[in-house]
A and B are shown apart, each in its own frame.
Chain A
Amino acid sequence: MSETTGQQSPAVENPAADVPEKRGYVSATTLVMSLLLGTYFGIVLTKSEVVRWQRVHDMFLFNEPHMYLIIGVGIAVAMISMLIIKGLKAKSIEGKPITYRPKPFHLGNIFGGMIFGAGWALTGACPGPIYAQIGAGTWMALLTLGGAFVGTILYASLKSKLPH
């Protein structure tokens, strides 16, 4: 699986070609698009208010359908889009085939899922909104991110002992 940048010119021969290529792990196109799409998504998360603790709390209290409707419509739009992409065998702008690598079932879906949900209710933020909150200047959210980092290290440490 070699990843190319699509920019390599055959005219320029690298004499040290047997040295592992350090560049090209992620193409410049991917990085630029990641920044643009991240910004787009941060704006959408904030303007849709799914980044607000109160909205998440009201979702879990069944006070309003706002969050359920957004998640539901989001899934529907993404599903239709992916069916079209797969049906047309569309490729990415860099000409690579578009594939979804399925996430396998394991007990973490259940236990980890419940733990994640508890944290979501407590912080009012799933991972995307944490970054949007910090960017918008809600510095308290740095504690959420710090906690999430500690939680990830905790998982990495306990992984072999946990049921999967």
Chain B
Amino acid sequence: MELLMQPWPWWVSGVLVGLIVPLLHLLAGKSFGISSSFQQLGAMCLSNSKLSYFREFDWRRGVWILVFVGGIALGGFVANNFLSAEPVEFLPPFYHSAGGALRLMIGGVLVGFGARYAGGCTSGHAISGISNLNWPSVVATIFFFVGGLAVTWGLGSFIF
């Protein structure tokens, strides 16, 4: 119990993260990927949109992804409130400011735009795509790091 309440070591975490791919296939009949939840949200909220990206998306079949990400939120709540010795510090203190809010909004736009343009995020490309030997996912993952490293090392002294 003591160990459970501490942050889990990388090897436990890695195994449990990897298992989501076969578990989703076997139990839910779905391929692992999370950023499609953004398209699902758009298709549901803007179902009469002129944008074919939303209009032509079959949101009735995509309902499962919203249930899945709702579960992730519930899991975050459970882990933080019942499975942690002390509250998890998700964002550093300096992000709880107007400047932090601006960074999160701009960064959020980049996350949404980039993930949908790339055709997937860390889950759909890096974990699910690479593990299914899908080479474009390797390309996407490499460029996730190109972008992240460029911002952290190139602009880091201005931003952080």
Contact = CB atoms under 8 A, between A and B. Distances in A.
Interface of A: 3, 25-26, 29-31, 33-54, 56-57, 60-61, 65-66, 69-79, 81-82, 84-85, 90, 92-94, 96, 98, 100-106, 108-128, 130-138, 140-141, 143-157, 159, 162
Secondary structure call for the A interface: helix
A116 B144 CA distance: 6
Interface string B77-106: 111110110001111100110001101111
Contacts, number: 494
Nearest to B138: A109
Contacts of A151: 38, 108-114, 116
Contacts of A65: 10
A164 to B, nearest CB: 9
B108 A150 contact: yes
Interface of B: 7-8, 10-32, 34-35, 37-39, 41-42, 46, 49, 51, 53-54, 58, 60-61, 63-65, 67-81, 83-84, 88-92, 95-96, 100-101, 103-137, 139-153, 156, 159-160
A117 B114 contact: yes
Contacts of A147: 104-112
